[in-house]
Chains A and B, each alone.
Chain A
Amino acid sequence: MHYVRLVTGVVSTDDILPARYKHLSVDPQVLAAHVFETRSDWGERLVNSVIVGDSLFGIGSSREQAVTALKSAGVRAVVAPRFGRIFFRNCWNNCLPALTADLNGLVVDGEQVALDLDRGVITTAAGLECSIPRPSPWIHELLDAGGLLLWTQQRVANT
């Protein structure tokens, strides 16, 4: 079970983590404190959360710290109708599900939802089952390996 955190409008990686932090630190724990800081004061609200966006999510730069910082802050998945392509890749490479679905109006901020990736379903607090994309074979391979880097490590070990 996770808590829904609603985000409205187009979200850029500069919103998620301002550019200057990318250079100052590589530690996701340090960066977690700055997540979304130009937009709102999230504090602890991202712990065990599913971010639900209503628009295009993750446009802008390729900085992966935007994803690792979100994970560090406690985000368990991001659901949005559309994703910036680099952000989408960064999410799955780091085993943070980026799920293309429009939940606008179907969930409220703070409600508890259940996420079942294999069945391709998010279940709302009221019991409504919403469709989300099921992982493709490659995405499964990534998730099973624990992310792209572990997958790569295994590849190197096997050659």
Chain B
Amino acid sequence: MPLVDQIIASHRIDPVSTPFEVGEIVQVSIDAVYVQDGNSPTIARIFAEYGFDRVFDPERIALFFDHTVLSGDRQMTNRLREAERFAESLGLRVFRAGRGISHLVALEEGWFEPGSIVLGADSHTCTGGVRQCLALGMGASDIASAMVTGSSWLQVPATTFVHVSGTPHSMTSAKDVMLHLLAEYRQEPFLYRSLEWGGEWVEGLDAAGRVTVANMAVELGAKCTFLPPTDGHEGARFHLEPVKAHTILEVDVAGLEPYVAKPHSPFAGEPLGKCAGVTIDYVFAGSCANSSYGDLEELVRGLNGESVNSRVNLVVSPGSAQIYGEAIRNGLLDKLLDAGAIVSPPGCGACVGTQGIVPADGDRVLSTMNRNFLGRMGNPKASIWLSSPRIAGRAAVLGQIPSVEEL
């Protein structure tokens, strides 16, 4: 059976133990839960209001301070302290501000194990699919309930095997392919499904590319996602087989050019050539989609040793302290600073709009984020284009979206 079925079967706790069908709702035990500073105050209030005073296992519940690392607003800082007190009262694991984006740190710290079920209070929890974990983003009530009971209700999804083959343009990265898929298919083949990935293009992805693919599964509308195992992928043992899936989607990326998503939707992707020349005022390189070490390397390649355009702010938010440290050791940080980049502490950074830099009215932003809905980043009077780190680096130098030849 498909991987999601195997994982659900091994975790099912319904009284009725008959085989389940797609679309059926079952109850499962869960292995871990993690929340963020942005949503834990809501969860804390739920605990207080409903009188919950203990969790199923404090060692398997973590709170990450990543959405607002440098709080510029006292109301926000009050909420952060509230979150700290909440975590302490229950004995939860805490990853303090500056450690990095929850999903990336969770990967580093081994919170996702193959075949396990992990729930998260952020929609990009699906990133755990890199480690073949059934990793599900959910809302506050679901998370609070799971923290207390150690279980959750799930609707069994159908599985689609996404087989990606062909050699794209040399400048086309995982991000470009994901933006292409969103533009080409929207959510139609992916909605509510478990996505298993395979094919030579997928097998050839580096660590950063795998994170981007798993991360943007939620943009595709998927319930969950699984990448194939790789060498050095400790513990990974599930081979994903197309024949076990309900549907196979064949995707041919031969010759695919780099992509950019225009304002105001991740579905509004177009080949780079069509957006070349658009003036850009602000480049944000970060977010859980593209803040791995490999993404920083790509950003630096895009800068190509040149200075950031005098009109442009380039803000870089490394995904984690570990990635930041590696960037320092390998000289990447020097190159970013020499170019004139503003390097922020590791965290979600400008993505959500709660911390800097919030775009100005009329700003045209190019970002490596995964979403560009109107108002994202904190200003509905700004427009956001989405791209790969390579394109972002070049755009920061040129002050406009580059053509393919300029990359």
Does chain A have a CB within 8 A of B142? yes
Are A90 and B141 CB-contacts (below 8 A) given A23-B76, A138-B153?
yes
| B side interface size, CB within 8 A | 49
What band does the interface of chain A fall in when counting residues whose beta carbon is under 8 Å from B? Answer: 35 or more
Interface mask (A30-66 → B, CB under 8 Å = 1, otherwise 0): 0000000010000000000000000010011111110
Using Cβ atoms and an 8 Å threshold, which residues of chain B touch A67?
A: 139
- Shortest CB-to-CB span from B266 to chain A, Å, is 9
A26 to B375, CA, bound (A): 19
Using Cβ atoms and an 8 Å threshold, which residues of chain A touch B378?
A: 19-20
Using Cβ atoms and an 8 Å threshold, which residues of chain A touch B139?
A: 62-64, 67, 86, 89-90, 93
Q: Which of A104-112, A115-123, A151-159 contacts B (4 or more CB under 8 A)?
A: A151-159
Query: Of A38, A59, A139, A151, which is in contact with the most chain B CB atoms at under 10 Å from its CB?
Result: A59
A64 to B143, CA, bound (A): 11
A147 to B328, CA, bound (A): 49
A142 to B25, CA, bound (A): 12
A8 to B50, CA, bound (A): 37
Does chain B have a CB within 8 A of A74? no
Are A94 and B141 CB-contacts (below 8 A) given A23-B354, A59-B187, A138-B153?
yes
Contact of A62 among B121, B145, B265, B354 (CB under 8 A): B121
- Shortest CB-to-CB span from B35 to chain A, Å, is 11
- Shortest CB-to-CB span from A102 to chain B, Å, is 14
Using Cβ atoms and an 8 Å threshold, which residues of chain B touch A90?
A: 138-139, 141-142
Contact of B353 among A19, A63, A138, A147 (CB under 8 A): A19
Contact of A20 among B148, B153, B354 (CB under 8 A): B354
Contact of A156 among B46, B49, B148, B223 (CB under 8 A): B148
Are A149 and B50 CB-contacts (below 8 A) given A19-B352, A20-B354, A85-B221?
yes
Using Cβ atoms and an 8 Å threshold, which residues of chain A touch B353?
A: 18-20
Q: Which of B37-45, B244-252, B359-367 contacts A (4 or more CB under 8 A)?
A: B37-45
Does chain B have a CB within 8 A of A24? yes
Looking at chain A's contact residues, the main secondary structure is helix
Does chain A have a CB within 8 A of B137? yes
- Chain A residues 1-21 with CB under 8 Å of chain B are 10, 12, 14-15, 18-20
Are A60 and B148 CB-contacts (below 8 A) given A67-B139, A82-B191, A93-B139?
no
A60 & B141 in contact (Cβ 8 Å cutoff): no
Q: Which B residue sits closest to A22, measured CB to CB?
A: B38
Using Cβ atoms and an 8 Å threshold, which residues of chain B touch A150?
A: 50
- Shortest CB-to-CB span from B360 to chain A, Å, is 15
Query: Of A10, A61, A138, which is in contact with the most chain B CB atoms at under 10 Å from its CB?
Result: A61
Using Cβ atoms and an 8 Å threshold, which residues of chain A touch B375?
A: 14, 18-20, 38
Using Cβ atoms and an 8 Å threshold, which residues of chain A touch B223?
A: 85
Are A26 and B45 CB-contacts (below 8 A) given A12-B373, A20-B352?
yes
B41 & A26 in contact (Cβ 8 Å cutoff): yes
Contact of B141 among A85, A93, A136 (CB under 8 A): A93
B221 & A56 in contact (Cβ 8 Å cutoff): yes
Q: Which B residue sits closest to A84, measured CB to CB?
A: B221
Interface mask (A126-159 → B, CB under 8 Å = 1, otherwise 0): 0000000000111100000001111111011000
A116 to B40, CA, bound (A): 36
Contact of B50 among A19, A20, A62, A153 (CB under 8 A): A153
Using Cβ atoms and an 8 Å threshold, which residues of chain B touch A22?
A: 38-39
Using Cβ atoms and an 8 Å threshold, which residues of chain A touch B281?
A: none
Q: Which B residue sits closest to A62, measured CB to CB?
A: B123
Using Cβ atoms and an 8 Å threshold, which residues of chain A touch B153?
A: 138
A64 & B374 in contact (Cβ 8 Å cutoff): no
Does chain A have a CB within 8 A of B79? yes
- Shortest CB-to-CB span from B37 to chain A, Å, is 9
Interface mask (B366-407 → A, CB under 8 Å = 1, otherwise 0): 000001011110101000000000000000000000000000
Does chain A have a CB within 8 A of B324? no
B380 & A148 in contact (Cβ 8 Å cutoff): no
Does chain A have a CB within 8 A of B185? no
Using Cβ atoms and an 8 Å threshold, which residues of chain B touch A151?
A: 145
B144 & A149 in contact (Cβ 8 Å cutoff): yes
- Shortest CB-to-CB span from A54 to chain B, Å, is 15
Q: List 28 A-B contacts (CB under 8 A).
A: A14-B376, A15-B373, A15-B374, A18-B353, A19-B354, A19-B375, A20-B353, A23-B79, A26-B41, A38-B374, A38-B380, A56-B191, A60-B371, A62-B139, A64-B139, A65-B42, A67-B139, A85-B221, A86-B218, A89-B139, A90-B139, A90-B141, A93-B145, A148-B141, A151-B145, A152-B148, A156-B52, A156-B148
- Mark B residues whose CB is within 8 Å of A: 25, 38-39, 41-42, 45-46, 49-52, 67-68, 75-76, 79, 121-123, 137-142, 144-145, 148-149, 153, 155, 187, 191-192, 218, 221, 223, 265, 267, 352-354, 371, 373-376, 378, 380
Known A24-B76, A82-B191, A86-B139; 15 more pairs at CB < 8 Å: A14-B376, A18-B375, A19-B352, A19-B376, A20-B352, A56-B221, A62-B121, A90-B139, A93-B142, A150-B50, A151-B145, A152-B52, A152-B144, A152-B149, A156-B149
